[in-house]
């Protein structure tokens, strides 16, 4: 992979760790996460359910996404803040699109950050994370082929399709 994302061995199996963000005074998910953690986090769980169900997929674009990713090796990194309004709004629909497109969960890596965009156990320094959520798509060589930062430009499915055409 082009960008090495170091995870200390001590923390490698610790998913869904929560810390109190002192600037926000709330519990946030930090480091490696999974969907189970997103659905359990106090600040995020209701948003996940609501925005996942509320999203009306553009099936025409999802079919195009499916055609482009079929047989391809890739990884998507989702950097989010469980405290962040845009993460609450866009991460659940992203997962809805991924589910509809048949993207396996092991193709998606979720990393939670605090309000300073720091993940503690995951080194994000080479990824220039300025805003969350950031959805980064990597090809089979580990090179970044595109990203969606904060909010989609032309629509979630259209933006994803534009990126996966480069895989």
The answer to whether residue 36 is domain-embedded is yes
Half-sphere exposure of 54 (CA within 13 A, CB side): 11
For tokens 């990713």, the residue is: 69
CATH at 124 = 3.40.30.10
What is residue 99's predicted lDDT score, i.e. its pLDDT?
Answer: 98
What is residue 117's predicted lDDT score, i.e. its pLDDT?
Answer: 96
What is residue 1's predicted lDDT score, i.e. its pLDDT?
Answer: 38
Number of C-beta neighbours around residue 67 at 10 A: 12
The answer to whether residue 48 is domain-embedded is yes
The answer to whether residue 2 is domain-embedded is no
What is residue 13's predicted lDDT score, i.e. its pLDDT?
Answer: 58
pLDDT digits (tens, 9 = 90+) for 87-125: 999 999 999 999 999 999 999 999 999 999 999 999 999
The answer to whether residue 3 is domain-embedded is no
**Tally of domains in the chain:** 1
Residues of the chain above pLDDT 70, percent: 92
pLDDT digits (tens, 9 = 90+) for 42-51: 889 999 999 9
The answer to whether residue 1 is domain-embedded is no
The answer to whether residue 85 is domain-embedded is yes
pLDDT digits (tens, 9 = 90+) for 55-74: 999 999 999 999 999 999 99
Question: Which residue range(s) make up the domain with 142?
Answer: 9-164
Which structure tokens are listed for 139? 């090809």
């Amino acid at each position: 992979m082009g960008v090495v994302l170091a995870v200390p061995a001590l923390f490698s199996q610790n998913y869904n760790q929560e810390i109190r963000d002192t600037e926000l005074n709330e519990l946030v998910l930090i480091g490696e996460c999974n969907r189970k953690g997103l659905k359990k986090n106090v600040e995020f769980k209701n948003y996940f359910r609501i925005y996942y169900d509320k999203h009306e997929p553009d099936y025409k674009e999802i079919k195009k996404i499916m055609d482009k990713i079929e047989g391809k090796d890739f990884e998507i990194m989702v950097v989010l803040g469980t405290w962040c309004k845009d993460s609450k709004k866009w991460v659940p629909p992203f997962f809805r699109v991924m589910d509809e497109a048949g993207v396996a969960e092991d193709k998606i890596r979720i990393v939670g950050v605090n309000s300073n965009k720091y993940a503690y156990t995951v080194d994000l320094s080479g990824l220039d994370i300025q805003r969350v959520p950031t959805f980064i798509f990597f090809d089979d060589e580990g090179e970044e082929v595109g990203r969606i930062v904060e909010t989609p430009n032309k629509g979630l499915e259209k933006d994803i399709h534009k990126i996966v055409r480069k895989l």
